[in-house]
Copies of this chain bind each other. A is one copy, B any other.
Amino acid sequence: MKAMNWLAGACLAVAALSVQADGLRGTGDLGIVVERARGSLQLVDTSKKSVLSRIEGLGDLSHASAVFSRDARYAYVFGRDGGLTKVDLLTGKIVKRVIQSGNSIGGAISQDGRFIAAANYTPGGVKIFDAETLELVVDIPAWSDELQAASKVVGLEDAVGNVFAFSLFEAGEIWVADLSENPKRPKITKFKNIGREPYDALVSPDGRWYIAGLFGEDGVAVLDLWNLEKGVKRALPDYGRGQEKLPVYKMPHLETWAVSGNLAFIPGVGRHEVVIVNMETWEKVGVIPVAGQPVFVMARPDGRQLWVNFAFPHYDTVQVIDVPTRKIVHTMKPGRAVLHMEFTPRGEHVWVSVRDANRVDVYETRNFTKLTEMPAENPSGIFFTWRAHRFGL
């Protein structure tokens, strides 16, 4: 009996140690940094501004993106090679990895967190997986009757009501898949002739507007997800590469259009400007000249600042715009090739991937002071767990 008590005591000590080592901790301040060339992730802590561990073996992570589980414990990473990897942020281990297609361009998680959707180029379509097991729930081929061929799927976004919206590049269509009644047989609404070659899309932070950018012509396609019966409308007729087909070094990312009140701030295509759009009328109401062709225009969570990075040859530069005055209040050159930026949940800090310097920098947003830097191998995307609780990210 005495021995048993002693054993129990010793075990409790081991258990306590083990709990700490196994990471009894909150997950609201965790995140990942994609190391694209190495096929790995840095698991990071945004409170301590530090790296916790490296997670290896995620395949081709060029252009990789991630979403987070409802409990903010798991990251789902979409790789360019069609890999979908579920990572446990508490143990720093891969839980499951499936090669779900030949070539993928990103994904989304349903409003209720039960389903992961991946958008695929090869073969074109959307596959929807159970978030718990990564078992296939339903495969939605992007077959166009008009084309008699499959299309590449781009701009896959989640919205209110367990809805996924996505665009068909070759077919020029927008589809809305509603999983709320029967996830295995989603109700699909198709919108045709929405414009030539939609190449990316976004959902507004309130989950209402689905906006697809067009590669094949100027303008954007706008779908009101609250009123599907109104159909897709065209807006911003002079938004795009223009008649002269400006040289575009990198088509801007749309997923992160910055919204502040009723205004959206969007990267100009091929032009050195940020375009201001009134979201009530979907009309252009102004531009802000900037240092290069914008790639990401990201609003600090309070909407007061926009942080902008640029395509080649200005990809060494980051500019900060003050929203009320629409003036550039800061310009900096953190290093060659700034690839991505991510704000802490309430925006006091921003993390910046400086790819060629093998570094992630952390800045205080109110005064642009660099607080710290961390080594990372060719870092690209940075994703924090607060995304678990937002739409369209």
Contacts and interface: CB of A to CB of B under 8 A. Distances in A.
Interface of A: 7-8, 10-12, 14-16, 18-19, 22-30, 46-47, 68-74, 89-91, 111-113, 160-162, 180, 206-208, 226-227, 260-262, 279-280, 301-304, 324, 345-348, 366, 385-386, 388-391
Contact of A302 (B10, B207, B345): B207
A208 B299 CA distance: 14
A180 B367 CA distance: 11
Contacts of A303: 206, 208
A27 B91 CA distance: 14
A7 B10 CA distance: 9
A165 to B, nearest CB: 14
Contacts of A347: 111, 160
A346 B206 contact: no
Contacts of A280: 261
Contacts of A206: 260-261, 302-304
Contact of A11 (B14, B72, B260, B385): B14
A112 B348 contact: yes
A362 to B, nearest CB: 12
Given A112-B348, A366-B161, A28 B302 contact: no
A258 to B, nearest CB: 12
A186 to B, nearest CB: 15
Given A18-B19, A160-B302, A180-B366, 20 more contacts: A7-B7, A11-B11, A12-B14, A12-B18, A15-B19, A16-B18, A22-B24, A26-B69, A26-B90, A27-B27, A28-B72, A28-B385, A46-B70, A47-B113, A160-B304, A162-B348, A206-B260, A226-B304, A261-B262, A301-B391
A28 B346 contact: no
A169 B19 CA distance: 47
Given A18-B18, A280-B261, A345-B388, A71 B226 contact: no
Contact of A47 (B16, B70, B180, B366): B70
A207 B365 CA distance: 15
A389 B28 contact: yes
A133 to B, nearest CB: 15
Nearest to A299: B206
Contact of A27 (B11, B28, B226): B28
Interface centre among A10, A23, A388, A389 (most CB of B within 10 A): A389
Contact of A304 (B30, B208, B345): B208
Those 7 A-B pairs whose CB atoms lie nearest each other, nearest first: A26-B73, A28-B72, A26-B71, A345-B389, A15-B18, A11-B14, A29-B71
A164 to B, nearest CB: 14
A72 B72 contact: yes
Contacts of A69: 26, 28
A282 to B, nearest CB: 13
Contact of A26 (B72, B207, B226, B366): B72
27 contacts: A7-B7, A11-B11, A11-B14, A12-B14, A12-B18, A19-B24, A22-B24, A26-B89, A26-B90, A28-B70, A28-B385, A28-B388, A29-B70, A30-B71, A47-B71, A47-B113, A111-B346, A112-B346, A160-B347, A161-B366, A180-B366, A206-B302, A208-B303, A261-B262, A261-B280, A262-B262, A346-B390
A330 to B, nearest CB: 16
Given A347-B111, A391-B302, A28 B71 contact: yes
